[in-house]
Amino acid sequence: MRARRFGRIVNIASIGGKIAFPHLLPYSASKFALVGYSQGLRVEMLKYNVLVTTVCPGLMRTGSPRNADFTGQNEKEYAWFKISDSIPVGSIGAKAAAHKIIRALSYGDAEAHLGLSARIGSIAQGLAPGLTADALGLVDKYMLPSPVPGKPELQKGSESESEVTQSALTQLTRDAETANNQT
């Protein structure tokens, strides 16, 4: 790319690389690193007309929650994740995300935030990082499951199913499981 003085690079990070979410600190740390690397790479490659696009999707309906690892109160953690993954305005389907990634890459956009929740979250973090962190702290304190004492056992989402995760609230995620061969 440098030799021909043209190119496009896309790095798929996450909104977790812009906002630190409770219960996902190792994940967020790795995504923050990728966002920083991508921004720096874009700066260094501009002189060669090589554009780097950093993609920060929010929740994507891929059907993957069933294969994710959960600890602690795994049934409650899994229910939060699977229900959030199924909210139409809070998550984005894989095909829609792919189209947006290709568009951003074609135009050479510096960043692409996929899904309404990712766009709003990124704006909130940029405008009021302290307020965003405090709000997420309140969500953690009052809405998310508490940690359990000792070393909790690691379980897959598929091992953490409950009535709630098999209800109409999670239909979009279950449809994505089938469509994307996650079952």
Annotated catalytic residues are 27
**Cα 165 off chain centre by:** 20
CA distances from 46 to 42, 90, 120, 121, 180 (A): 6, 34, 28, 27, 36
